[in-house]
Amino acid sequence: MKEQMQGLRESSVKAILACQSIEELEALRVKYLGKKGELTAILKQMGKLSAEERPVMGQLANQLRAEVEGALEKRKEELGREMMEKKLVDEAIDVTLPGVKQTVGHKHPMYNVLDQIKDIFIGMGFDIVDGPEVELAEYNFTKLNIEESHPSRDWTDTFYFTEDAKILLRTQTSPMQIHAMESRELPIRIIAPGRVYRKDEVDATHSPMFHQIEGMVIDKGITMADLKATLNLVVEKIYGEGTVTRFRPHHFPFTEPSCEMDIQCHKCGGKGCPTCKGEGWIEVLGAGMVHPKVLSGCGIDPDEYSGWAFGMGLERLAMGEYKISDLRLIFENDVRFLEQF
């Protein structure tokens, strides 16, 4: 037994000194001193000893335990110190090395234009509202007085999610008119910017995803004059005072009367140039007086209330303002292009 203890003393101290991590050290403690450890195994043989030998061996065993514990403790301290030193070396920062340049991005040019428009409308007391891009056909079409046979409902034009054509990606922000009328108290003054989707091939002026800004006012005594005055003001804020607009009759199922608004080309002043494709005018938006059927469908009495609405394309506006000639540049997100703005 004495020899066994001597053997354990030598092998354990050697192993502890060679140990390289706290985890390993803990494993050694279990190996030598644990309940199923080597020292316990030796002590199990105590029963075989005579009454005189037993206290002597017991004392030796206690001594051995204390030695191994002492060695473990010492190694633990050493390892802790070594680890700290290694950490200090590894994590040392050479303050003389040149730094890594952090590049700061900036807002996308189209969102600059959107922010500008938001500011203008906020200044006139409008709320900015957000709504779902995945929409019910009922809101995108039906409640907007767009009949079942209308070509814009066609599967070739609209992204549907379901065979029954009840759920779709909104093709316009106009369903936000319905959401606003159904959920807000009167009077209502909102703009609702957001993404819309149509099955268009990508080219210089088309994209299957683009952005619109919907605007709507519902109150007592609202007329077409309010629509024109508001839009003229907005255009002058964006393109400068004195910018000339023109309202042409048009047709939308959810407004009556309906119109399209053009601005006189800010580049050539109406003479005709590449920017306005020789027309002298640039089409900016569709608008009109909210159809009485749409109002009553949302529980608003058309005899008491009236309102106007407009919808405009944000990309086109940004392209005009920044003289961007190809729509794809707006979405490609090539920083070499975006950095210019």
CA distances from 2 to 53, 60, 67, 71, 273 (A): 11, 8, 15, 20, 108
Selected binder of ligand PHE within 192, 309, 317, 324 (CB under 6 A): 309
Q: In this complex, which beta carbon is closest to ligand PHE, that of residue 172 or of residue 306?
A: 172
- Toward ligand PHE, which CB reaches closer, 212 or 264? 212
Sheet of strand 255-264: strand arrangement: 127-128, 188-197, 209-219, 306-313, 281-290, 255-264, 245-252
CB burial readout 121-143, b (16+ within 10 A) else e:
beeeebeebebeeebbbebbbeb
Question: Site map for ligand PHE, 154-183, x if CB under 6 A?
Answer: ------------------x-x---------
In whole angstroms, how close is the CB of 340 to ligand PHE at the nearest point?
A: 29
252 binds ligand PHE (CB under 6 A): yes
* Interface stretch with ligand PHE, choices 91-99, 201-209, 266-274, 280-288 (CB under 6 A): 280-288
What are 12's two structure tokens? 């354990």
Q: What is the Cα–Cα distance from 219 to 222, expressed in whole angstroms?
A: 6
Residue 119: CB minimum distance to ligand PHE, A = 21
**Residue found under tokens 């390993």:** 24
Q: Nearest approach, Cβ of 254 to ligand PHE (angstroms)?
A: 6
Using CA atoms, how far apart are residues 24 and 66, in angstroms rounded to an integer?
19
Write the interaction track for ligand PHE spanning residues 205-244; mark x where CB under 6 A is met and - where it is not. Answer: ----------------------------------------
Question: Which residue of 288, 305, 318, 319 would you call a contact of ligand PHE, by CB under 6 A?
Answer: 288
Binding of ligand PHE at residue 287 (CB under 6 A)? yes
Q: How far is the CB of 273 from ligand PHE (least distance, A)?
A: 26
Shortest distance (Å) from residue 243 CB to ligand PHE: 21
| From 184-192, 291-299, 309-317, 318-326, span contacting ligand PHE (CB under 6 A) | 309-317
Closest to 321 in 3D by CA, of 240, 213, 231? 240
Q: List helix spans (H) across 34-144.
A: 38-43, 53-90, 109-123, 137-140
Q: 278 is written with which tokens?
A: 């020789």
Shortest separation between residue 217's beta carbon and ligand PHE, angstroms: 12
How many helices (H) does the chain have, and how many strands (E)? 12, 9
| Least gap, CB of 287 to ligand PHE (angstroms) | 5
Count the neighbouring beta carbons within 10 Å of the beta carbon of residue 288. 23
Minimum distance from CB of 194 to ligand PHE (Å)?
Answer: 12
Q: Does 310 bind ligand PHE (CB under 6 A)?
A: yes
In the complex with ligand PHE, the residue whose CB is nearer, 64 or 113, is: 113
Tokens of 319: 């392209």
Q: Which amino acid is at 12?
A: S
Instruction: Confirm or reject binding of residue 255 to ligand PHE (CB under 6 A).
Output: yes
Long-range contacts of residues 58-65, Cβ cutoff 8 Å, at least 24 apart:
60/2, 60/5, 61/5, 64/5, 64/8, 64/9, 64/39, 65/33, 65/39
Binding site for ligand PHE (CB under 6 A): 172, 174, 252, 255, 286-288, 309-311
